[in-house]
């Protein structure tokens, strides 16, 4: 198993990509902390893990709050004794023309998508420094690489994740802490459910990538497994694009 006995914290693991990553990590031998502000979804993820014989613990977490992040990490240390892997996955999307987006919506997206990466990483890095090794993986988006109409705060937050990933990789590589991010294309999750329910929109999205389908959480999960495993120890500061070829056009 590629993650045998590794300890991982995964934010936003109550659904979608986060749940897919949690389930894939456990299949590869990891034990996970399922961090989410939705208790119902997170407990379902824990149930799915335990039914497969895995080990997981839920922590109710608002990733934009420093106190919650500290409690998340403390729970991991109390239960498992260390943190080997952090996956900064939690995210939200709010759309609208830039001149119409409220300051509150802008702040919410930047806090949950980008500030959370700072808070989570800054809190686990001291623990990884004690271990002499660690893996930090953040979920960015192709929206951080190319523009998406009426997606101003989301694009800004995901572009910020990419820039912060590169800075952290440069800063902590000498201490053997690998920092990378994944840039998914359009993935079938609760966040995209309404958008993909429209046949015209789904046809547009499917035809926009050379690979003829919309992505699924497992596509991102397997990329995360690679970046979390020892085999990627020489990969640092990278943006792993998983989008069916969208940005290659």
What is the Cα–Cα distance from 21 to 223, expressed in whole angstroms?
Answer: 9
Whether 159 is covered by a domain: the verdict is: yes
* CATH number where 195 lies: 3.40.50.720
Whether 2 is covered by a domain: the verdict is: no
Dihedral over Cα of 202, 206, 208, 214: its sign:
positive
Whether 104 is covered by a domain: the verdict is: yes
What is the Cα–Cα distance from 98 to 109, expressed in whole angstroms?
Answer: 13
- Tens digit of pLDDT at every position of the chain (249 positions): 999 999 999 999 999 999 999 999 999 999 999 999 999 999 999 999 999 999 999 999 999 999 999 999 999 999 999 999 999 999 999 989 999 999 999 999 999 999 999 999 999 999 999 999 999 999 999 999 999 888 899 999 999 999 999 999 999 999 999 999 999 998 887 776 666 667 776 676 677 778 888 889 999 999 999 999 999 999 999 999 999 998 998
Q: What does residue 12 show for φ and ψ, rounded to 5 degrees? A: 65, 35
What is the Cα–Cα distance from 136 to 240, expressed in whole angstroms?
Answer: 13
Instruction: Say what the pLDDT of residue 107 is.
Output: 97
Whether 105 is covered by a domain: the verdict is: yes
Whether 209 is covered by a domain: the verdict is: yes
pTM: 0.95
Q: How many domains does the chain have?
A: 1
Whether 1 is covered by a domain: the verdict is: no
DSSP for residue 96: B
Tell me the catalytic residues: 154
Q: Which domain holds residue 132?
A: 7-248
Q: How far apart are the first and last CA of the chain?
A: 36
């Amino acid at each position: 198993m590629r993650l045998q006995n590794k300890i991982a914290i995964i934010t936003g693991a109550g659904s979608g990509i986060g749940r897919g990553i949690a389930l894939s990590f456990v299949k590869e031998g990891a034990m996970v902390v399922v961090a989410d502000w939705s208790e119902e979804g997170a407990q379902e993820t824990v149930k799915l893990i335990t039914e497969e014989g895995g080990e997981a613990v839920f922590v109710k977490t608002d990733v934009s709050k420093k106190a919650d992040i500290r409690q998340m990490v403390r729970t991991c240390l109390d239960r498992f004794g260390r943190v080997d892997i952090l996956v900064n996955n939690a995210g939200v999307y709010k759309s609208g023309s830039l001149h119409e987006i409220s300051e509150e919506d802008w702040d919410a997206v930047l806090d949950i998508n980008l500030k959370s990466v700072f808070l989570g990483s800054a809190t686990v890095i001291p623990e990884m420094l004690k271990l002499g090794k660690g893996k930090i993986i953040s979920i960015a988006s192709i929206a951080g690489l190319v523009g998406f109409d009426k997606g101003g705060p989301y694009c800004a937050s995901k572009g910020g994740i990419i820039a912060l990933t590169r800075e952290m990789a440069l800063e902590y590589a000498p201490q053997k802490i690998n920092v990378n991010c994944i840039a998914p294309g359009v993935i079938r999750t609760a966040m995209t459910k309404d958008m993909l329910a429209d046949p015209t929109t789904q046809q547009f999205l499917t035809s926009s990538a050379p690979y003829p389908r919309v992505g699924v959480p497992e596509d991102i999960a397997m990329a995360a497994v690679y970046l979390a495993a020892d085999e990627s120890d020489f990969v640092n500061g990278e943006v792993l694009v998983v989008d069916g070829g969208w940005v290659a056009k």
